[in-house]
Structure 1
Amino acid sequence: MAIASSCQQANQKKEKETANTAKKSSYLSQPIISKIYTADPSAHVFNGKIYVYPSHDIEAGTPENDNGDHFDMRDYHILSMDSVNGKVTDHGVALSIKDIPWAGRQLWAPDAAFKNGTYYLYFPVKDKSDVFRIGVATSKNPAGPFKAEPEPIKGSFSIDPAVFTDTDGASYMYFGGIWGGQLQRWDNGKYDANGSKTDSQKENEPALSAKVAKLSSDMLSFDGEVKDVQLVDKQGKALLTNDHDRRFFEGAWMHKFNGKYYFTYSTGDTHYLAYAIGDKPYGPFVYEGTFMKPVQGWTTHHSILEIKGKWYIFYHDTQLSGKTHLRNVKVTELKHNADGTIQMIEPWVE
């Protein structure tokens, strides 16, 4: 009995190891860090080193709902590495919600920028009235710690700030997200607390658009009005609300390749990463297609970065936890074709 039991245990162990290996091999890439849960990675090269500015997922015990209340983050950790897939350093807490004077709850996807000898951390958080605004914090070190400005950026709202600095030195912030990101509640220019919980609900009209604003020279405020990101099909027509496979949902990012501006974003409830190409930072951007299939987990959020002549996409999934609110950051190569299109990425195989 003891021998049979021992053999059975050995077989079960072997089967478990085989299953784990198979599970691991079904993913295109592995998490860059597993000691903490991370998501929404914004990656940059500063001083020859790769810095990743992610959300810091935690198990807050908040019930899951379509508003995203279960994404109840409290601080940011900044990660760095000398090379792609190299050893990752967790620099600890760079900014805590308790150190943001105007903050209420939910520190969502951030981004960072460098100018004038200063590093800037841009972050969305709900204010004390439960309305998402975008704040900025500064540091002399890319790893922080960062000190938040006493008020949010005037005229900012919604979520997912992504800051792009063009070759002429001008910087632009792209932002916005529907559903829990509240963009749909700003349809008339003022926040409507009783507004839609999803989108405009005008199914056959142009979809809600991401926003873009030029940043001031000190990177702390908007220089001019907030504009709609013009996202159109190849006939020049705006994408409609009911076009869930193509319309903007959240997670905007901008990169420039061969003189063209690539506006990339998440389609949200259909879980694709999509892209559109334009000739100017404000667009119009012509929808080209999707370039990443759905990851494991509900959300998909990315950044795209050139490192030593190659392009990479930083993204997340739920490999480590299997829970949609406890995610892990990954990285893989992104390839542009000769005609400027982006090759499809398949992040995992079920």
Structure 2
Amino acid sequence: MKGKISTLGAAVVLAALLPTHAFGAEDAPGAPASAFRDQPLVTSIYTADPSAHVFGGKIYVYPSHDIPTDIPNDDLGNQYAMRDYRVLRMDRIGGKVTIGPVALDVKNVPWASQQMWAPDAAYRNGTYYLYFPARDKTKDKNGLGTFRIGVATSKSPMGPFKAEPKPIAGSYSMDPAVFTDTDGKSYMYFGGIWGGQLQRWAGGKFDPNGSDTDLGRNDQPALSGKVARMGADMKSFAEKPRDAVILDENGKPVLTGDHERRFFEASWMFTRGGKYYYTYSTGDTHFLNYAIGDNPYGPFKYTGHILKPVQGWTTHHSIIQANGKWWLFYADTQLSNKNHLRNVKVTELTFNADGTIQTIDPLQAR
């Protein structure tokens, strides 16, 4: 089923509650700037999927770099034809934002063919690491490559980054997010269904002729995002990826048919008060959610919504602590009103005394 994404109030919520084919949703009609809670960080380029970090006292945002294209919307995400990365830098939230030069281009990644989707970054021992998904040069039933996750390095957080000649061994799907715990161990969370191909790995190896969605298995446990501890070189997995399982209030895995709570893509991990907050997007219902666990592997108990639906098909986020506050970075389509041309935003995140997060409405003007 295809669904038109509404832009305001109850219409957005109604659209969010109806499962729609992800990347085939129609572009949204625009809302006036005054209708939005937050405004874009930059307007001269299109940005999405912001992974924010504090390095050396400054805030760096590693977003996707959306580009105009005439490719029609489809469920495989072909219209998301991004081919390079640009890093954003600011001294503080609300301050001037600097757009860096090209940090990495797909033409300089030996194993990749196209679609540089949502990246992340990490720092260790004087080196900055850029993690990114891209399609390799194989061909599946749709004539598209298999998503793998690569890594590139630089001595500067803005790049340029030099890619490793091969993707990370054992990596697949998309949306890498690297979390470093207080003991110094780092973990990569990754995976995305439908265009992200995670459903094709359900049997333990890639099925090039497999399903393009996870629909039709509503009474089965939902596909889980993946987590793997990183090797000391930050370029490899130290173990086989595990499932990051999300549990319901009864301690049972959330089901595929539970579109408001099940994992779809965009994992992000952070810790607060000794708890591990596993956050993610529900995709076709357009929520950002969080689930809480006691360790980096989970399981994680579903706890609630972080962000209600944005204008546009979906959103991808990150959460950091800076300047004594917590911040949510996300994206919508305010500038273009087109699902594949997005703009990054930031808003303050508020925690209740019990550690739960107050839900944010991006279409509730301040």
TM-score range, shorter chain: over 0.9
Kindly state the Cα deviation for residue 64 of structure 1 after the two structures are TM-superposed.
Answer: 1.2
In structure 1, C-alpha distance between the alignment counterparts of 2:276 and 2:83, rounded to whole Å: 33
The alpha-carbon deviation at position 61 of structure 1 amounts to 2.0
CA RMSD of aligned residues (A): 1.0
Partner of 1:340: 355
Which residue is equivalent to 1:32? Answer: 41
1:114-173 Cα distance to aligned partner (Å, 9 max, x none): 012100000000001100000000000000000000000000000000000000000000
Percent of matched pairs sharing the same residue = 65
Question: Contact between 2:244 and 2:297, CA under 8 Å: does it hold in 1?
Answer: yes
1:23 to 32, 40, 49: 32
- 1:126 alignment partner AA: R
Match of 1:256 among 253, 266, 271: 271
CA distance in 2, matches of 1:200, 1:299: 18
How far off is 1:349 after superposition?
4.2
Which residue is 2:258 aligned to? Answer: 243
Identify the residue that residue 108 of structure 1 maps to in structure 2: 117
Q: Which residue identity is paired with 2:66?
A: D
Runs of 4+ aligned residues of structure 1 deviating over 6 Å after TM superposition are none
Equivalent-residue separation in structure 2 for 1:156 and 1:222 (angstroms): 8
Q: For the residues of structure 1 that align with 2:70 and 2:103, how far apart are their CA atoms? A: 23
For residue 317 of structure 2, what is the aligned residue in structure 1? 302
Is the 8 Å Cα contact of residues 263 and 277 (structure 1) preserved in structure 2?
Answer: yes
Name the counterpart of 2:175. Answer: 160
1:17 is matched with none
The answer for the alignment partner of 2:22 in structure 1 is none
1: distance between equivalents of 2:155 and 2:294? 34
Larger Rg: 1
| Unaligned ranges ≥5, structure 2 | 1-30, 139-144
Structure 1 segment 317-336 matched on structure 2, within 5 A: 317-336=332-351
Mapped to 2, the partners of 1:240 and 1:83 lie a distance apart of: 40
Checking the alignment, whether the CA contact within 8 Å between 2:121 and 2:129 is kept in structure 1 is yes
2:64, 2:82 within 8 Å by CA — same for their partners in 1?
yes
Give 1:63 shift: 1.9
Residue 337 of structure 1 aligns with an amino acid whose one-letter code is N
SS of corresponding position for 1:180 = helix
TM superposition shift of 1:279: 0.4
Gap runs ≥5 in structure 1 = 1-21
Give the partner amino acid of 2:102: V
Aligned length: 329
Q: TM-score, normalised by structure 1?
A: 0.93
Distance in 2, matches of 1:64 and 1:344, equals: 30
1:229 aligns with 2:244: yes
TM-score w.r.t. the length of structure 2 is 0.89
Alpha-carbon separation, structure 1, partners of 2:100 and 2:305: 34
- Bigger drift between 182-191 and 59-68 goes to 59-68
Check if 1:89 corresponds to 2:98. Answer: yes
| Higher RCO structure, 1 or 2 (CA under 8 Å, sep 6+) | 2
Question: Is residue 200–residue 207 contact of structure 1 (8 Å, CA) maintained in 2?
Answer: no
- Quote the residue 1:182 is aligned against: 197
Whether the 8 Å CA contact 1:62–1:70 is kept in 2: the answer is yes
Shift of the 200–156 alpha-carbon distance from structure 1 to 2, 3 Å rule, reads farther
